[in-house]
Amino acid sequence: MAADDVSRWRGRVGRGPGRPAGGRLARRLAVGIGLAAYCWAAAGAAPFTITALLWVLLAGAVIGGIAFWRPPERIPPPDRLDVTGFSYWAIGVAALFEWEAAAFKDNARWWHPSLTDLINPLIAPHPLKSAAILLWLLAGWALVRR
């Protein structure tokens, strides 16, 4: 049951607070260095290659594994969602998809580029692509905590 999953995870105690301060700092430093190295290496992979795919799948496997087998302490979700309040988000997300779909319908021509066509040149430089990958990883971690 979905509700059972929530109650089981909600009360779960994180593993961090029990460590001594020095250990926590060393762990954070190691994670930070590991993340930076991963982002830099993954950003160096050429698009449309197995290497690039494996870098993404590695992150997916780690985040997915943590999410389902070793979930951290979760931020409790709201008991209910205000339909009116959520509808603003639904309209915004639908508008984004519609605008993107219109570009796909036009086969992403120069005069109606897709969001991907606009973002790809922005993240083409290696440092910016590394930063984008870091942002993606942090978003994944934020999702795992939800």
The interface region with other proteins, picked from 11-19, 27-35, 57-65 by CB under 8 A, is 57-65
Residues 60, 64, 67, CA angle at the centre, nearest 5°? 145
Residue 69 interacts with other proteins (CB under 8 A)? no
Residue 62 interacts with other proteins (CB under 8 A)? no
Q: Which residue has the tokens 């209910």?
A: 80
| Cβ atoms within 10 Å, residue 124 | 9
Provide the terminal-to-terminal Cα distance of the chain, rounded to the nearest Å. Answer: 17
Residue 88 interacts with other proteins (CB under 8 A)? yes
Q: Which residue has the tokens 């905590």?
A: 145
Q: How far is the CB of 127 from other proteins (least distance, A)?
A: 14
Instruction: Enumerate residues 10-29 that contact other proteins by CB under 8 A.
Output: none
The nearer residue to other proteins, 34 or 64, going by C-beta atoms, is 64
- Distances in Å between the alpha carbon of 85 and those of 24, 89, 94, 143? 39, 7, 15, 21
Q: How far from the centroid of its chain's Cα atoms is residue 146's Cα?
A: 12
Can you read off the two tokens belonging to residue 73? 């302490």
Interface residues with other proteins (CB under 8 A) are 1-3, 5-6, 42-43, 45, 47-48, 52-53, 55-56, 59-60, 63-64, 67-68, 75-78, 81-82, 84-86, 88-89, 92-93, 95-96, 99, 103, 110-113, 115-116, 118-120, 123, 129, 132-133, 136, 139-140, 142-144, 146
